Amino acid sequence: MEREDPLSRIEREERERAERRESGQQTQKIVIAILAALAVVLGILLLFNGSRHKSLVSELQIEKQDLQSQIEALQNDYDSLSSDYEFINAQLDSSREEIAQLVERVKTVSATNRSKIRQYEKELGTLRSIMRSYIVQIDSLNNLNHKLTAEAASARREARETRERNTELEAQVEDLSGQVAVGAIVRARGIKVTAYNSADKPTDKSNKVVRLLVNLSLVENSLAPKGDMTVYLRVTDPSGELLSDGRGITFPLNGETAAATAARTVDYEGAEVDLGIYVNNVSAYAKGLYSVQVYSVQGLLGSTELLLR
């Protein structure tokens, strides 16, 4: 093998070193170019993300402001809502306090806190549903009051017609009373009728009534006859029918025999006597106005009315 000429070897080595330097420079330029391109792309991405972030924050801020406006509008609706019923007013006050607190929480929450914003949106929906239920309750109660008022007017109209039909009987009773010496007549005052349920509690609901109690006072009269005195009740229902407790009580009225609903005998010695008379054993009570007339054998002592719903 021939030995390479030293001069040729040196020249060859220099050429190789030069080629390596040129190759390295080219590689370095390529790397720099790639890094520069990456820097440009990274800058564009950062700029794009920053723009998107600002846009998203702006959208969230608008969404928060819209939610706050809706809550404040609902708050105004609650403030304008009122009723004539204490239990509903108490509930309204509680809901107004809740929505006032919600307004304050929405004002202070960050628009980027998506979980809290969604929670407050749900609370807004709940408060809207509650308000709708209040409106339904108030309308229902108002309609019921109007209906009861109309029923009461109708009941009074029917009672007036019944009283007109009984005018002749009352005239006969007054004629009989006029024949009795005025000084000997026992009079009554404070006539009151109360309906009771099975728990012995006062009620005005017809389907709950099991008995009636009529209270009155026989006025003091030293000239009146002393001894046993029987007080008779005649109770007529809204249709004008006489109620009966099943005992078949009768009493003399204007020379004839009249039926009574109930009666009670007391010892009257001229002093004032307080008494109560129960009406039992009536199977059912209808809605409407009941007329109660109180008699003695001397005549009509007085009357009152009872309205059942």
pLDDT per residue as tens, the chain (309 positions): 556 666 677 777 777 777 777 776 777 777 777 877 777 667 666 655 555 656 656 777 788 788 788 888 888 888 877 777 777 778 878 888 888 888 888 777 776 777 887 887 888 788 888 878 877 778 777 787 778 777 877 778 887 877 877 777 666 656 545 544 556 688 999 999 999 999 999 999 999 999 999 999 999 998 888 999 999 999 999 999 999 988 999 999 888 999 999 999 999 998 999 999 999 999 999 999 999 999 999 889 999 999 999
* Of 197, 192, 217, 221, residue with least CA distance to 207: 197
Name the maximum alpha-carbon separation found in the chain: 177
pTM score of the predicted model: 0.43
Q: For the chain, where are the E strands, in sequence order? A: 188-196, 211-218, 227-236, 250-253, 256-259, 262-268, 273-279, 288-296, 299-308
Give CA–CA dist 150/145, Å, rounded: 9
Amino acid at 241: E
Structural domains in the chain, CATH included, are: 19-135 (no CATH), 166-308 (2.60.40.10)
Give CA–CA dist 200/198, Å, rounded: 5
Give CA–CA dist 134/128, Å, rounded: 10
Q: Are strands 227-236 and 288-296 parallel, antiparallel or unpaired?
A: antiparallel
User: Judging by beta carbons within 10 Å of its beta carbon (0-12, 13-18, 19+), is residue 70 exposed, middle or buried?
Assistant: middle
